Amino acid sequence: MRIGLLTEGGYPYATGEAGAWCDRLVRGLPQHAFELYALSRSAEQEERGRVPLPGNATLRTASLWAPADDGRSYSRRERRRFADCFGDLVRGICAAEAGPFAAGLYGLAELGRDQGGLYAALRSETAVRAVEAACRAPGAGRALQAARVPDLLEFVDELERLLRPLSLDWYGDLGRVDVCHAAAGGTAALPGLLAKRFFGVPLLVTEYGVRLRAHYLEHSPDERPAVRALLAAFHIRLAAEIYARADLLTPGNAHARRWQERCGAARERVRTVYPGMEADRFATVGEDPGCGDPDTLVWVGRIEPAKDLVALLHAFAEVRRAAPQTRLRIFATAAEPGYLADCRSLAAQLFPDEAADAITMGENPVTFEGIGGPEAPSAADAYGAGRVVLLSSVIEGFPLTLAEAMFCGRATVSTDVGAVCEVIGGTGLVVPPRNPKALAEACLSLLRDPERAQRLGAAARARALELFTVEQNVAAFGDTYLLLLAQGPARPEGGIPFAQPPEARVPGHWTTPTWATTPATPADPSAGPAHGGGAVPAPASGPEPGPLPVSAPARDAVSASSGGVVSGSGRGAVPGPGAASSDPALALYREPSPEPGPGPGPGTAGSASAAEAAA
């Protein structure tokens, strides 16, 4: 099966969990061919390089940051057509109307396909005036009506970047995949939305972090209120269109699913698939429940305001009053320098350095450390430093650090945010956010009862091994691909599943047989048989630059015919027994043979034989 995997700012250019699940998916399904279509967000991201791709993956990249001006000019008819489509789009944005937004979006996509790009049109004065008219029209919000010329120019500039996928040249290839899988919502899913609209390709959208929610959380102090309101309205309408048109949505947790359903996703098309994590990395610590200091509390994550380390430090001050021997070790995977400095300063004020006697150097009971040092060379070592792991966030999606702590068999104390309750499922303690006293009491209850902490840790590990492993994640998506292919409607252009399998692209010099390209004609007595007995044309003379793809009818014949083989020299394809004269693949799908024989069915033997010939 050919899977078109769509990403934005992630795999294969991003390291860490943002792209790790995509890499595990591609490597976990080697029987499928993954065609990666990546949207990069910055030049720095591309310069840092990308992760090595397995043999079943190919890559095409388009940048959302580089200028895309092709220097072309538009005719009067094209300008009028653009004005109508763009006017519908911005009217749908400002008036919150789904119909005009969808009509404008697909109209612009058709114009970009016909004219080769929309860069100049989206940055024209016509676009600015259309946005201004939509903001001044009745029904627009107060923030939109207050937009001024600088706001309009900034929004049009950002909108051109967001709509850049409409001008890409991907859709000729993307329209021939079996399933489009968007690894995120928003702009990443836009190419899949167009492939479904124009070619009928089934669309699967996976969101481990809801893109619309992320937009609301991303706030710059320099951002203009009118621009923020316009961008929020665009993302709302785009999310609603994606959720309405996708064949299946796979949120990573119930928290993300609720966002999708509130934006219009039908419940019967939503299926939760938890992220997959490598359990083997934490096996050493998880299988040794007695390791770690029983008087040490551990926190692991990115140090930023959303993690609320200020409340954590105040809660630890309460713990120290009741249990003076307790320590807090904070392991940072990344940090905002300003917030880290504030937390260090607060820790120094709340916990002065302590010494055992008059000649010993004092130590602070709170330490800020990084993973990769001599005391914690890996994340598993960081979790294994104590018996209880804390999470104090006020904003959280899927808490990956909490799941990692569960793999390590650690009892957890967490704030009730995001998908925390869904992840731990009763195997840890949950307290309200921004409540240091409740957080301290929960920590003390586990410190005073180590047997309870050990029982909770064992239950947490069992739950993580059941729900959050790579194996369950890959198996879920493998089943989902087959489900979409089986339930998907017929393609508008009459395509059939597995019509162009990747195995048919055998390296070598190919010549298409006459029976695969020429329509059936009445038999000529002077000519040879139509099939096996006929002469096969010789290959074209002259050197070739590289492997040539097989024509569509030839690929159909090789993949669909149960007895189809590829000649050992790689010079042509010979149909198997019983092949039809016009199109063997279509004939086999329309009229299955009543006596299939012991061999495998259509779509398997031909693919295998082609692969064997290539080897």
User: Does a structural domain hold residue 153?
Assistant: no
Say if residue 325 is in the same domain as residue 407: yes
User: Does a structural domain hold residue 493?
Assistant: no
Per residue, the 3-state secondary structure of 2-45, as one string, reads EEEEEEECCCCCCCCHHHHHHHHHHHHCCCCEEEEEEEECCHHH
Q: How many CB atoms lie within 10 A of CB 387?
A: 24
Say if residue 360 is in the same domain as residue 410: yes
Say if residue 510 is in the same domain as residue 603: yes
Say if residue 454 is in the same domain as residue 561: no
User: Does a structural domain hold residue 86?
Assistant: yes
Q: Is the pTM of this model over 0.85?
A: no
Place of tokens 């939109």: 144
- Tokens standing for 592? 């299955």
- Of 366, 257, 262, the closest CA to residue 310 belongs to 366
Out of 442, 468, 494, pick the residue that ends a domain.
Answer: 468
Residue 267 is given by DSSP the state G
Out of 147, 179, 198, pick the residue that ends a domain.
Answer: 147
pLDDT in tens, 180-213: 999 989 899 999 999 999 999 999 999 988 888 8
Say if residue 556 is in the same domain as residue 523: yes
Residue 375 has pLDDT above 50, yes or no: yes
pLDDT in tens, 397-428: 889 999 999 999 999 999 999 999 999 999 99
pLDDT class of 605 with cuts at 50, 70, 90: very low
Query: Which of 147-151, 369-373, 435-439, 488-492 is the least confident region?
Result: 488-492
Domain count, the chain: 4
User: Does a structural domain hold residue 379?
Assistant: yes
Q: Which residue has the higher pLDDT, 518 or 50?
A: 50
Torsion of CA 54, 57, 60, 64, to 10 degrees: -70
Percentage with pLDDT > 90 across the chain: 53
Residue 615 has pLDDT above 60, yes or no: no
Q: Alpha carbon 544 to chain centroid distance?
A: 38
User: Does a structural domain hold residue 498?
Assistant: no
Say if residue 306 is in the same domain as residue 412: yes
Partners of residue 205 on adjacent β-strands: 182, 249
pLDDT class of 544 with cuts at 50, 70, 90: very low
Structural domain that includes position 139: 77-147
User: Does a structural domain hold residue 346?
Assistant: yes
Residue 472 is given by DSSP the state H
pLDDT in tens, 240-286: 999 999 999 999 999 899 989 988 899 999 999 999 999 999 999 99
User: Does a structural domain hold residue 274?
Assistant: no
Out of 239, 269, 299, pick the residue that ends a domain.
Answer: 269
For 441-588, strand residue ranges (E) read 565-566, 573-574
Q: How many CB atoms lie within 10 A of CB 451?
A: 7
Say if residue 261 is in the same domain as residue 286: no
Q: Alpha carbon 421 to chain centroid distance?
A: 24
The number of C-alpha atoms within 13 Å of 565 and in the hemisphere containing its C-beta is 6
| CATH number of domain containing 305 | 3.40.50.2000
- Tally of helices (H runs) and strands (E runs) in the chain: 26, 14
